[in-house]
């Protein structure tokens, strides 16, 4: 009996050594969770034995339990590296068409594959949700793979230009009829913005400001556009400030307190067509009838320097992916070269009622079981789910000092049980040699 007891002790010590060695080996594995071997004694009795004198039958391994407390952080320069600060898991799937067959992980080392899907080092797809672009809310908690398109948006022709400006009250007056965009002395200030045609081709649109000498507190405004052949005047169809050369502009009248009295006499400011029948821009096959509506948003005339507070237009060209950011809610925001910031989706978060019931499948991944309870899907930073931190990875939660102490303890236990086995063997040999 003592022989079997010692053997069980050696087996338990070996299990403890294996568990500790596995922890040490994975000390640099992202998202790894340490394991702990837990043991119980073996006690057996029968009707022929006395419970008061029963010594027990040795030891057995009850469970190798994983410990899911958080590991420390390591900071990287990759915005696709994610860690969960708090509870929850990422969900990854081998097949993006079958997201229901997924695994859970705390290893957030993700990147883009050749098709711009967000994947891990095993090529598994990160799962998440669709987000409504208007409300920034998740539209459905039905998980799907996440993708970051390298291009975004069809070209959109500019139709409206919004201008917010302060024109200096102490500027020198000039004769608007003598305006010539090639002569800097014929105007006071100028500024420009990029506009786009229906094919997404860019052009520079410039506005010129002339403090009118024919009326108090009035400014004349003229417009040009520049294509590959050079700068060309763009007339306003219902303007009221024409130059000697016939270029038609608009005008702004101000009150004595510097606030705007009227813009273009209350008439809307619309340009002539930009194509051959109007301004004569070479549009290279784009819509020749494109016009622009100019809107001055509360212009002022104060005794302050010339200042452009706003100069926006609503056109866009096709955008190419510039960078990807992921916020604390797990929202994936892509920035494109056309200035568009697009929320492409939200990283899905999963938790289970009993983490100890998860079944390890290797690769720092787990699958749900009856013991863990069903997966609960949600969003980062909501409820019991932790926040997502971009550019950060979770290191293993191994305490190397403690593991080395456990290693020495397991070694001593193994040696002690080996000695007990050796003594038991010697006693049996002594008995067998009795004559």
- Write down the pLDDT at residue 58: 84
**The pLDDT of residue 26 is above 90:** yes
Last residue of a domain, one of 252, 283, 313: 313
Q: Which residues contact 392 (CB under 8 A, 6 or more apart)?
A: 73, 74, 75, 76, 81, 82, 83, 108
Q: Are residues 191 and 292 in the same domain?
A: yes
Rounded-to-integer distance, Cα 10 and Cα 404, Å: 19
What mean pLDDT comes out for the span 98-112?
A: 95
Task: Dump pLDDT digits (tens) for 2-13.
Answer: 677 878 888 888
Residue matched to tokens 């010594």: 55
For the chain, the domain total comes to 3
Looking at the fold, whether 179 and 212 belong to one and the same domain comes out as yes
Model pLDDT for residues 40-63, shown as the tens digit of each residue: 888 766 556 666 666 777 888 888
Residues 412, 328, single domain; the answer is: no
Instruction: Give the pLDDT mean for 360-387.
Output: 93
Q: What is the per-residue pLDDT for 359?
A: 94
Alpha helices, DSSP H only, in 109-168? none
Q: Is the pLDDT of residue 262 over 90?
A: yes
80 and 65, same structural domain? Answer: no
Task: Say yes or no: 376 and 411 in one domain.
Answer: no
- 268 and 168 within one domain: yes
In 3D space, the residue among 409, 366, 403, 362 whose CA is nearest the CA of residue 23 turns out to be: 403
Domain boundary among 258, 278, 313: 313
Q: Give the Cα separation of 424 and 427 in Å (integer).
A: 5
HEC profile for 354-375?
CHHHCEEEECCEEECCCCCCCC
The pLDDT of residue 43 is 74
Contact 373, 354 (CB under 8 A): yes
Give the three-class secondary structure for 386: coil
Q: What is the mean pLDDT of residues 296-312?
A: 94
C-alpha 121/C-alpha 348 separation (Å) is 18
pLDDT digits (tens, 9 = 90+) for 309-321: 999 999 988 888 8
Q: What is the pLDDT of residues 122-149, one digit of tens each?
A: 999 999 999 998 888 999 899 999 999 8
- Look at residue 83 and tell me whether its pLDDT is greater than 90: yes
- Determine the structural domain holding residue 293 and report its residue range: 160-313
In contact, 41 and 21? CB cutoff 8 Å: no
If asked whether residues 103 and 64 sit together in one domain, one would say no
Tell me: do 164 and 306 sit in the same domain.
yes
The reply to whether 58 and 102 lie within a common domain is no
Same domain for 279 and 176: yes
Tell me if 273 sits within 8 A of 279, measured CB to CB. yes
Of the candidates 313, 340, 363, which is a domain's last residue? 313
Tokens 């193994």 sit on residue:
414
Q: Model pTM greater than 0.75?
A: no
Residue with tokens 């892509």: 334
Bridge partners of residue 42, in order along the sequence: 58
Taking the CA atoms of the chain, what radius of gyration do you get in angstroms?
Answer: 38
CATH code, domain carrying 283: 2.60.98.20
Same domain, 362 and 342: yes
288 and 170 within one domain: yes
């Amino acid at each position: 009996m003592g022989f079997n007891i010692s053997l069980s002790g050696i087996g338990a010590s070996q299990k403890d050594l294996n568990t500790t060695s596995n922890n040490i080996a994975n000390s640099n594995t992202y998202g790894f969770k340490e394991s702990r071997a837990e043991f119980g004694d073996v006690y057996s009795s029968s009707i022929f034995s006395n419970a008061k004198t029963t010594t027990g039958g040795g030891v057995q391994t009850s469970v190798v339990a994983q410990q899911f407390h958080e590991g420390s952080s390591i900071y990287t320069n990759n915005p696709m590296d994610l860690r969960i600060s708090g509870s929850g898991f990422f969900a990854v799937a081998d097949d993006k068409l079958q997201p229901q067959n997924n695994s859970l992980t705390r290893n957030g080392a993700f990147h883009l594959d050749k098709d711009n899907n967000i994947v891990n080092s095993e090529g598994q797809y990160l799962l998440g949700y669709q987000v409504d672009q208007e409300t920034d809310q998740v539209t459905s908690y039905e998980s799907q793979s996440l993708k970051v398109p390298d291009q975004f948006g069809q070209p959109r022709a500019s139709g409206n230009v919004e201008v917010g400006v302060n024109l200096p009250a102490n500027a020198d007056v000039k004769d608007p009829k003598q305006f010539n965009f090639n002569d800097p002395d014929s105007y006071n200030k100028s500024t420009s913005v990029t506009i786009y045609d229906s094919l997404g081709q860019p052009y520079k649109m410039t506005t010129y400001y002339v403090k009118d000498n024919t009326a108090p507190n009035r400014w004349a405004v003229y417009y040009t556009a520049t294509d590959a052949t050079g700068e060309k005047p763009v007339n306003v169809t219902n303007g009221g400030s024409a130059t000697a050369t016939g270029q038609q502009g608009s005008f702004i009248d101000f009150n004595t307190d510097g606030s705007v009295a009227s813009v273009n006499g209350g008439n809307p400011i619309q340009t002539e067509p930009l194509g051959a029948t109007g301004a004569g821009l070479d549009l290279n096959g784009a819509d020749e009838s494109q016009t622009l509506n100019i809107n001055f948003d509360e212009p002022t005339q104060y005794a302050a320097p010339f200042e452009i507070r706003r100069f926006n237009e609503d056109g866009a060209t096709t955008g190419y992916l510039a960078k990807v950011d992921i916020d604390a809610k797990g929202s994936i925001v892509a920035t494109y070269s056309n200035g568009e910031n697009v929320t492409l989706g939200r990283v899905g978060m999963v938790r289970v009622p009993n983490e100890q019931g998860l079944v390890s499948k290797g690769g720092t991944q787990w699958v749900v079981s009856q013991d863990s309870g069903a997966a609960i899907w949600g969003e980062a930073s909501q409820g019991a789910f932790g926040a997502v931190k971009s550019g950060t990875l979770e290191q293993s939660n191994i305490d190397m000092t403690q593991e080395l102490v456990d290693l020495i303890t397991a070694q001593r236990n193994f040696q002690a049980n080996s000695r007990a086995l050796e003594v038991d063997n010697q006693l049996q040999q002594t008995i067998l040699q009795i004559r």
